[in-house]
Chain A
C-alpha cells in the first residue's frame, strides 16, 4: 500500500529563519510527487510536481527536491505570509488518485 509520511507535524520559525520540511514515501511506481499549500478554511493550492530523483523546482522562497525515497520542501528566509499547512501527495502505478501525507503545519513568527 502506498504510504506518505511528513515531518515534522508542526514547525515554528522566526521570520528569516530557513528550514526544510520532509516527505518520505513508499510507493510502487512513482508517477509524480506533489506539494500543496493549504490555508485554514481553504482548499489545497498547488505548488510543485516532481517526477524523478534529482529533480528540483523553485518558486519564490520555496524549493522542492526529490530523491528515490523522499522529498524536501526548503523554505528560504520565510515571511509570516508563508504560514500554512504544507501537504505532500504521491501518484503511483496506474492510479489517478493522490495519496496525501498528514501535512506539516508551518508558523512563521514576525
Chain B
C-alpha cells in the first residue's frame, strides 16, 4: 500500500483567509482524491485529481472555493479559499493503489482545519 503524508496536520485560521494543504505519496499514482469529513460526519468526496488534467469536482464543490493542483504523480495540493466557520473539517487525501490486488483507496492522516 502507498504511504501518504499531509501538511499541515492541523491549523486554526481566520475567516476570509485561505489555506493550502499538501499531500505527498511515496510512489507514483495516477489518481488522487480529496475528501472532507465534517465534525461527526462521514467522508464526502470533494474532487478527483489526475496528473496533467483539470480536477473533476463533485456536486456541491467548485473550483473557485477548492482549487486543486496536481503537478506530478506523487504530489497534490488542495486550497480552501475565503474560509468560513462552516469549512471547519478534516481534509483527507487518498490514492488508488493496486497493491492489495485491487484498486483500493488508501488515505492520508488528514488535516484538521478550524476556522474562527
A residues within 8 Å of B by Cβ? Answer: 32, 34, 36, 41-46, 49, 51, 87, 89, 96-98, 100-103
Contact = CB atoms under 8 A, between A and B. Distances in A.
A4 to B, nearest CB: 9
Contacts, number: 52
Interface residues of B, number: 24
Contacts of A46: 1, 100, 104-107
Q: Which 4 A-B pairs have the closest CB atoms?
A: A43-B107, A100-B42, A97-B45, A100-B43
B25 to A, nearest CB: 13
Interface of B: 1, 4, 31, 33, 41-45, 48, 58, 92, 96, 100, 102-110, 112
Given A34-B105, A46-B1, A46-B106, A103 B100 contact: no
Given A42-B110, A87-B42, A49 B58 contact: no
24 contacts: A32-B102, A34-B104, A34-B105, A43-B92, A43-B109, A43-B110, A44-B92, A44-B107, A46-B1, A46-B104, A46-B105, A49-B100, A49-B102, A51-B102, A87-B42, A87-B43, A96-B33, A97-B48, A97-B58, A98-B33, A98-B43, A98-B105, A100-B44, A102-B41
